[in-house]
Amino acid sequence: MQKRVLVIEDEPNISEALSFILSRNGWRVDVTADGKAALGRLYADPPDLLILDLMLPGVSGFDILRSVRACDDTRALPVLMLTAKGQAADRIEAERLGVTRFMTKPFANAEVLAAVHEMART
């Protein structure tokens, strides 16, 4: 059965790139740019993995991560958080909230694929 990843990213170029590299590597990819709508999708049909942008309009990646970890159905969901900021304080907060992996933009395609494959095995 094909694994499914939900990408919550508001920059079209990044979400398209992630969708392309992941689908070429056997993943079914769902993409949304709206954090609030993404929460509904997450709870209705949890994916196998979540790729989450930190800075989203309306609701932050931290807020989404906090909500994911608070729900029994998604508590163990592997989450890769992406950010253009890359500040130590953001990494510390993401780890405090339970992120699985944290990666700064720009990222190498191979780096994302390696992280996703590693997270999918755990």
Q: Tell me the per-residue pLDDT of 12-23, one tens digit each, with 9 for 90 and over.
A: 999 999 999 999
Residue 37 pLDDT grade (very low, low, confident, very high; cuts 50, 70, 90): confident
DSSP for 15-81 reads HHHHHHHHHHTT-EEEEES-HHHHHHHHHHS--SEEEEESS-SSS-HHHHHHHHHHSTTTTT--EEE
Question: Which of residues 84 and 18 earns the better pLDDT score?
Answer: 18
- Rounded to two decimals, the pTM is 0.95
Residue 36 pLDDT greater than 90, yes or no: no
Q: For the chain, list the domains and their CATH numbers.
A: 4-121 (3.40.50.2300)
